[in-house]
Amino acid sequence: MRRKLAAGNWKMNGTGAALAEVQALARAHPSPNCDILICPPAPLLHRAAQTVAGTAIAIGAQDCHAEPSGAHTGDTSAEMIMDAGAQHVILGHSERRADHHETSEMVRAKARAAMQAGLSAIVCLGETLAQREAANTLDIIGGQLSESVPDLATGENLVIAYEPVWAIGTGRVPSPEQIGEVHGFLRARLEARFGAGVGRSVRLLYGGSVKGDNAAEIFAVPNVDGALVGGASLTAADFSPIVAALDDSA
């Protein structure tokens, strides 16, 4: 059985004071039936890891470099993320693909580095509105999956997050049928590439305008093993109902 995962991506938001929200979330869910993950900005990783020590919440980063060390000013290696106390890292988010011109090949190299360092890589995939309207969604998603995921992936070191670009922060959410089509496609592709054992053990998250009032409907879709949540993960009040909905579906 795949254990459900509620992951929060804080993006470039939060200072030390925001860690009070993580404490509140931990108090609200002392023994959840699902995994809870918060991915704060890099300067908060170590303090966040200390904050969640002894709780049910894990910490992740939002990016890593493909190399373990070197002359890469401003970057952070997977080993540094592990040393800070995190266990996961988000890679290939559409904002990084767009803002930093990251290709799927670059994401694959980062995912390989993360896995080799002992991190779980949350690899993001998603189509634009133009690609969706041109009926190219599965071609785009399939290409990103093939090119972004390294061969050493397992159910323990890989999570896939389907985040349609047109739904991130817009309030627009695909229909359950659209989400189910993509997640079913991803499951079949993973099984075909890695075999049934690994293919069925990789968790598939949905991300894009997930809120407390639509979470239960999304989590009822087959092959949706949780969510990667942006803005609604910044406060315990907003994220807790999503976690509760996932708990109920577990």
Contacts of 101 (CB under 8 A, 6+ apart): none
Tokens of 114: 């993360």
Residues 239, 24 contacting (CB under 8 angstroms): no
Cα distance from N-terminal residue to C-terminal residue, the chain: 10
Contacts of 145 (CB under 8 A, 6+ apart): 125, 160, 186, 189, 190
Of the candidates 29, 65, 88, 93, the residue annotated as catalytic is 93
- Helix H segments across 118-175? 129-133, 137-148
Token pair 């890292």 is at which residue? 89
Of the candidates 21, 79, 95, 163, the residue annotated as catalytic is 163
Tokens of 217: 């409907």
Tokens of 143: 């290409």
- Alpha-carbon separation of residue 178 from 2, 125, 162, 218, 219 (angstroms): 22, 15, 11, 11, 13
Residue 93 designated active-site: yes
Residues 123, 148 contacting (CB under 8 angstroms): yes
- Please list, residue by residue across 221-237, b when 16 or more beta carbons sit within 10 angstroms of its beta carbon and e when fewer do: bebbbbbbbbbbbbebe
Q: Which of 14, 16, 7 is nearest to 46 (CA)?
A: 16
CA atoms of 188 and 46, how far apart (whole Å): 37
Catalytic residue positions?
A: 93, 163
